[in-house]
Structure 1
Amino acid sequence: MEGRADQLIERIRNEGANSPADVFLTVDAARLARAAQAGILAPHGSAVINERVPAGLRDPQGLWFAFSQRARLIMYDREKGRPEGLNRYEDLADPRFKGMLCTRSGAHPYNTSLGASVLMADGPQKTEEWARGVVANLARPRRAATATSSAPSPPASAASPSPTATISASTAAPTSRRTRRCSSASASSSPTRGRATAARM
């Protein structure tokens, strides 16, 4: 069966012991964390996986493992060229990029995973400062002048600064229920836009 990850997680929880799914395939570690929190995963118990998959790409309890990886990119206007000082994700919080960032919602799984990676690398305090800096740099459309405002409306050409960088990458903690648990879960890097597959093996 196929569907979006959250839909499949909820379906497997609702079906409980009657679920036909034995393996849950999805993209991004945040969605695997949701599945684990929902209680639908069980340890795979595979010595081969433990031997061949690096420890950083599998759950310590054996609930899931990754079988592919992908790069998380920063995109910019190639006609303008690479923005000076933009070399890594932490640089997106630099005030020089104020009004220039476009991103998915902070509640998107990709951004949750990105934030987790920054947290692991830089620690809680620097991560909070980084997140606040990114929010401060988001591109926002200018508001039209109100009837009570004496300021003229901006010309159409100045409606909004053009974004030069895009970051992609959130979280929801599903409540747990008694369920039949899948024997393993894997993370895929295929561009399926949050789709997942649960398969009977």
Structure 2
Amino acid sequence: MLKKHIFLWLFVLVSFAFTSYLLGDKTNNELNIYSGRKLSLIEPLIKKFENETNIKINLITGKSDAFIERLKLEGINSPADILLTTDVARLLRAKENNLFQSINSSILIKNIPKKYRSKNNDWFGFSVRARPIVYSKTRVDKKELSTYEDLSNIKWNNRICMRSSNNVYNQSLIASMIINVGIKRTEEWIEGLVKNFSRKPFGGDRDQIRAIASGECDISIINTYYLANMLNSKNKSDKKAAEKVSIFWPNQETNGTHVNISGAGIVKGSKNLYNAIKFLEFLSTKESQEIYTQKIHEYSIRKDVLPSTTVSNFGSFNADNLELEKLSSKMKQPIYLASKKKWR
């Protein structure tokens, strides 16, 4: 953990001068974005916005956590106008550090459901990401599956693989469980889940899919867009691995499957506030939402935009209707509980 923090601060300090150089002396009709999302994922949106508005976007991509530390250091003098990031936990962290400003936009309020934006309108979700169970088509009977909580059952002993609890996706899932079933049941769930691990937590969501395909485990929990992108991958090995697993939607009779968002907020002291608001409004339009669904394979925040064909094939599901901002009060507990129960 100490090494991780040292590396993060080194990244922030080394990137300081470089980012200032890239964003420091530009024209007025511009927009400066710190993005925790990869360029390949958001480039279609960037190009479409530039073509439609003639506003030049200066984009710096990197790690979201590093950008949050960077913005804390820069303060009101930051050249950034927008922080674009993944997972509500990072948006909440940025808000807690007083990095975002509240904005008044009837378009954003109309297009984005209440549960996917902050009550003060200082951060907004622009795509929805479901985190269901994924399982081996050959070694798991779908009828055996039911809820997240059931994965702590002894019948799954030595059959589950997961990524680290340090991962923000898992932290948000744990936080949502604390709200839905209480801290005691969540702690018991983590304890049982860890006992069922077939290996030490390792890698990202794609690695869990590969592990199931290779027989290292039978079950995991992943974000669906990872599987969708593997199914559409030019990498034959990844595509073959993805074809060996299937999606199961847990908790359909209770609170629903956990969902999260990617989103953005406008940085306090933004020098291009009008352009920043315009860009966020653009991201909420039907045309932009279709890019999220068709190119990135995430779900839309809008009801009038359908998932991609690949994602549609995963089937429909009942999502947890929790207002994501409520996770804020629980985000410190997942790390403690996971560490206590040895989910590394």
Q: TM-score, normalised by structure 1?
A: 0.69
Match of 1:162 among 216, 232, 251: 216
Match of 2:181 among 110, 118, 122: 122
Structure 2 counterpart of 1:112, one-letter code: Q
Mapped partners of 2:114, 2:191: distance in 1: 32
Q: How do residues 1-201 of structure 1 correspond to structure 2 at under 5 angstroms? A: 1-82=60-141, 84-140=143-199, 162-168=216-222, 180=268, 190=296
Mapped partners of 1:180, 1:57: distance in 2: 21
Structure 1 counterpart of 2:114, one-letter code: A
Listed one character per residue, the Cα deviations across residues 102-147 of structure 1 (whole Å, up to 9, x for unaligned) are: 1111121000111122222222222222122212211237xxxxxx
Q: Is the 8 A contact 1:53 1:65 kept in 2?
A: yes
Per the TM alignment, residue 7 of structure 1 is displaced from its structure 2 partner at its CA by 1.3
Where relative contact order (Cα < 8 A, 6+ residues apart) is larger, the structure is: 1
Do the aligned partners of residues 133 and 59 (structure 1) sit closer, same or farther apart at CA in structure 2, a change above 3 Å counting? same
Per the TM alignment, residue 61 of structure 1 is displaced from its structure 2 partner at its CA by 2.0
Runs of at least 4 residues off by over 3 Å: 81-84, 179-186, 188-191
Larger radius of gyration: 1
Per the TM alignment, residue 52 of structure 1 is displaced from its structure 2 partner at its CA by 2.6
Q: Is the 8 A contact 1:101 1:163 kept in 2?
A: yes
Listed one character per residue, the Cα deviations across residues 19-64 of structure 1 (whole Å, up to 9, x for unaligned) are: 1111111111111122112221111222322233211111112221
Structure 2 counterpart of 1:19, one-letter code: S
Mapped partners of 2:138, 2:171: distance in 1: 30
Report the 3-state secondary structure (helix = DSSP H, G, I; strand = E; otherwise coil) of the residue aligned with 1:8: helix
Q: Is the 8 A contact 2:77 2:269 kept in 1?
A: no
Report the 3-state secondary structure (helix = DSSP H, G, I; strand = E; otherwise coil) of the residue aligned with 2:84: strand
Report the 3-state secondary structure (helix = DSSP H, G, I; strand = E; otherwise coil) of the residue aligned with 1:166: strand
Of all paired residues, the percent bearing the same amino acid is: 35
Mapped partners of 2:92, 2:157: distance in 1: 32
Unmatched tracts of structure 2, length 5 or more? 1-59, 201-214, 224-266, 284-291, 298-344
Unmatched tracts of structure 1, length 5 or more? 142-160, 170-178, 192-201
Larger fraction in helix? 2
| Superposition CA RMSD, Å | 2.8
Number of corresponding residues? 163
Mapped partners of 1:31, 1:121: distance in 2: 21
Report the 3-state secondary structure (helix = DSSP H, G, I; strand = E; otherwise coil) of the residue aligned with 2:133: coil
Q: Is the 8 A contact 2:152 2:193 kept in 1?
A: yes
